Amino acid sequence: MKKQPGWLKFIILSIGLFAITGITASQAASDSPTLYDRIGGEPVARAICEDIWTNHTINPIVNNRFSNSDPVYVKQMVFEIFAAATGGPVEYTGKDMLTTHAGMNISDMEFNAVVDDVLKALDMNNIGAAERGEVLAILWSVKDQIVNTKLTTKALAPATSRDVVQP
Ligand code: HEM
SS3 128: coil
25-29 contacts, C-beta under 8 A, 24 or more apart: none
pLDDT in tens, 61-105: 999 999 999 999 999 999 999 999 999 999 999 999 999 999 899
Distance from residue 77's CA to the centre of ligand 1 (Å): 9
- Best substitution site from 90, 101, 141 to test ligand 1's pocket, by max atoms within 8 Å of Cβ? 101
pLDDT of the residue at 9: 57
- Interatomic CA distance for residues 59 and 116, integer angstroms: 10
The pLDDT assigned to 154 comes to: 59
| Cα–Cα–Cα angle for 67, 71, 76, rounded to 5 degrees | 140
pTM attached to this predicted model: 0.80
pLDDT score of 22 more than 90: no
List CB contacts of 74: < 8 A, sequence separation 6 or more.
Answer: 53, 66
| Higher pLDDT, residue 162 or 94 | 94
Find the 100 Cα to ligand 1 centroid distance in Å.
Answer: 7
Which residues, other chains included, contact 125 with Cβ-Cβ below 8 Å and sequence gap of 6+? Answer: 39, 40, 44, 47, 48, 51
What domains appear along the chain, each with residue ranges and CATH number? 35-152 (1.10.490.10)
CB 65 less than 6 A from any atom of ligand 1: yes
